[in-house]
Chain A
Amino acid sequence: MSVRLLALIPVAVAISLALSAAVDAVALPLFLDTTGTILATALAGPAVGVAVGVLTSAVNTLRNPTFSPFVVVQIIVALYAGLAARAGLFRSLRTAVPAGLGLGVIASLTSTPISYFVFGCTTTGGIALTTALGKALGLPPLGACFFGSFVSDFGDKAVTFALVAAVLHALPRRTAARFPLALRAMGAT
């Protein structure tokens, strides 16, 4: 791994965690906690993305220990984003948003069993309340848990993919060219 990619990893983790301030300001039900993982993958490939995802989970765990089992979701996100970058799906919002919606489904499918079996669907207040809504609608426990995860992940991942696409296109071409996969992810090569 080159020194540039080594320098990218802590910055990408910090991006994931610092974006919460922007989300708080606009008061939208989003996490954006995979932005750094997806961005690092789009710039430098899935190996760097996995490293960012694992470190993001580790640092998040220091804040709230219940994040630790969800490291699997970060790894899945990095692998999916790697495929999306290879396919050039960050070339425009029209391709990035549907790809993000697809990731939302996959992420909620991955996080549901962890959330259900380890925490009884009580990972965050929002998910717990949506799960309670799902139960009130008559869904079985696992279905209600998936409903809670799906509601939170579906829009979040679409917005994250759109944000990463916007960042890639806003990067100066010379800066983007310093990262191995950036131009391909933008569909520029």
Chain B
Amino acid sequence: MSALHPFSLLAIAAALPAFAWILPAPAGGLATTLVAMGLTLTPGASPGSTGAGLAPGWRPRSTGVWLTPGWRPGLVTFRTALVIAAPFWLFLRLLHDGPTTVAMGLRITTMVASCVWLVAVLSPDRLVEAMVARGWSLAVAYLFAATLSAVPVLKARARRIVEAQRCRGLSPRGSVANRLRALRALALPLVLSALHEVDERTLALETRGLGMGVRRTPLAAPLDRTAERVARWTLLLLCLTALIRRLA
């Protein structure tokens, strides 16, 4: 699956939730959920198979499931999807009746499984190459790639600031006013240091001649087969047809 063109992977991940919402519940939602959950079991959708080369920022580590000891690698993506989707079923049952819970739960599970699968199989490097090859501006590709790399860096810095302020005696407990003061002491250094970083990034980008409208020659553009392009357009047409039939 990870060998597919990045746009094809995006099209599949977008089409499944769209079908889940368009097709009549619960059969439509059940079908899309089965397909999406099936995708999480395909080769390339788990670190134990061929999808090991993903950028760290894209791995679903935030769920805490990715590297949990005892989890078999082949089912990590499948289980990640289940762990993310499970609370929604609980809250839906808390707020709604049985049929509504099933209908919405299947739609949300499709959405979750599609996205978890996409994160597992789609390499950001390949996506950026595909965007550049399609003629997108380098600035757009930069925004996408730089954001993914900046988030883990700033999160790590935030944790360091929290530890440093605690060492200096900052107490984040007590009354709400006390906690808000502590929040200010934690957030200000993080935000100010990040804003000062903008100067360095600007200089680096200007040195490399980057600006809006600048294009780059792709070095390793992913292969976009005719069959995949046809399949993507077919998916779009199927979605539109299903929507029109549903609304009619």
Contacting B at CB under 8 A, from A19-50, are 19-23, 25-28, 30, 32, 35, 39
- Residue of A8, A35, A120, A171 most packed against chain B (CB within 10 A): A120
CA distance A163 to B192 in the complex (A): 11
Return the contact of B191 from the options A4, A20, A35, A64 (Cβ within 8 A).
Answer: A35
User: What residues of A have a CB within 8 angstroms of the CB of B17 in the complex?
Assistant: 65
CA distance A64 to B119 in the complex (A): 11
Question: Closest chain B residue to A65 by CB distance?
Answer: B115
User: What residues of A have a CB within 8 angstroms of the CB of B142 in the complex?
Assistant: 6
Q: Are A15 and B154 in contact (CB under 8 A)?
A: yes
Task: With A1-B212, A3-B210, A11-B194 as known contacts, state yes or no: A128 contacts B155, CB within 8 Å.
Answer: no
Q: Are B157 and A120 in contact (CB under 8 A)?
A: no
Q: Are B115 and A62 in contact (CB under 8 A)?
A: yes
User: What residues of A have a CB within 8 angstroms of the CB of B195 in the complex?
Assistant: 11, 167, 171, 175
User: What residues of B have a CB within 8 angstroms of the CB of A15 in the complex?
Assistant: 154, 190-191, 194
Contacting A at CB under 8 A, from B76-111, are 84, 87-88, 91-92, 94-96, 100, 104, 108, 111
Interface assignment of A7: CB less than 8 Å from any CB of chain B: yes
Closest Cβ of chain A: how far from B214's Cβ, in Å?
Answer: 10
Interface assignment of B27: CB less than 8 Å from any CB of chain A: no
Q: Are A128 and B94 in contact (CB under 8 A)?
A: yes
Closest Cβ of chain A: how far from B10's Cβ, in Å?
Answer: 12
User: What residues of A have a CB within 8 angstroms of the CB of B184 in the complex?
Assistant: 163, 166
User: What residues of B have a CB within 8 angstroms of the CB of A13 in the complex?
Assistant: 147, 150-151
Return the contact of A19 from the options B60, B182, B187, B196 (Cβ within 8 A).
Answer: B187
Q: Are B186 and A7 in contact (CB under 8 A)?
A: no
Q: How many residues of A contact B (CB 8 A)?
A: 56
Interface assignment of B43: CB less than 8 Å from any CB of chain A: no
CA distance A22 to B188 in the complex (A): 10
Question: Closest chain B residue to A32 by CB distance?
Answer: B187
Interface assignment of B31: CB less than 8 Å from any CB of chain A: no
Q: Are A166 and B188 in contact (CB under 8 A)?
A: yes
Q: Are A28 and B147 in contact (CB under 8 A)?
A: no
- Residue of A3, A55, A141 most packed against chain B (CB within 10 A): A3
Closest Cβ of chain A: how far from B113's Cβ, in Å?
Answer: 9
Interface residues on B, range: 35 or more
Interface assignment of B112: CB less than 8 Å from any CB of chain A: yes
Closest Cβ of chain B: how far from A132's Cβ, in Å?
Answer: 5
User: What residues of B have a CB within 8 angstroms of the CB of A35 in the complex?
Assistant: 187, 191
Closest Cβ of chain A: how far from B59's Cβ, in Å?
Answer: 10
Q: Are A26 and B183 in contact (CB under 8 A)?
A: yes
Q: Are B151 and A17 in contact (CB under 8 A)?
A: yes
Contacting A at CB under 8 A, from B186-220, are 186-188, 190-192, 194-199, 201-202, 205-206, 210-212
User: What residues of B have a CB within 8 angstroms of the CB of A86 in the complex?
Assistant: none
User: What residues of A have a CB within 8 angstroms of the CB of B84 in the complex?
Assistant: 64-65
Interface assignment of A188: CB less than 8 Å from any CB of chain B: no
User: What residues of A have a CB within 8 angstroms of the CB of B161 in the complex?
Assistant: 22
CA distance A122 to B84 in the complex (A): 12
CA distance A8 to B142 in the complex (A): 12
Closest Cβ of chain B: how far from A51's Cβ, in Å?
Answer: 7
Task: With A22-B190, A66-B108, A166-B188 as known contacts, state yes or no: A59 contacts B148, CB within 8 Å.
Answer: yes
CA distance A121 to B95 in the complex (A): 8
Q: Are B155 and A21 in contact (CB under 8 A)?
A: yes
User: What residues of B have a CB within 8 angstroms of the CB of A28 in the complex?
Assistant: 176, 179-180, 183
Contacting B at CB under 8 A, from A96-127, are 118-122, 125
Question: Can you name 15 A-B residue pairings with CB atoms under 8 Å?
Answer: A3-B210, A11-B197, A17-B151, A18-B154, A22-B161, A25-B186, A35-B187, A65-B112, A120-B92, A120-B100, A125-B87, A166-B188, A167-B188, A167-B192, A170-B192
Known: A26-B180, A62-B115. 13 other contacts (CB 8 A): A1-B139, A1-B212, A10-B150, A11-B197, A14-B151, A14-B194, A21-B158, A21-B162, A22-B186, A39-B191, A61-B115, A167-B191, A170-B188
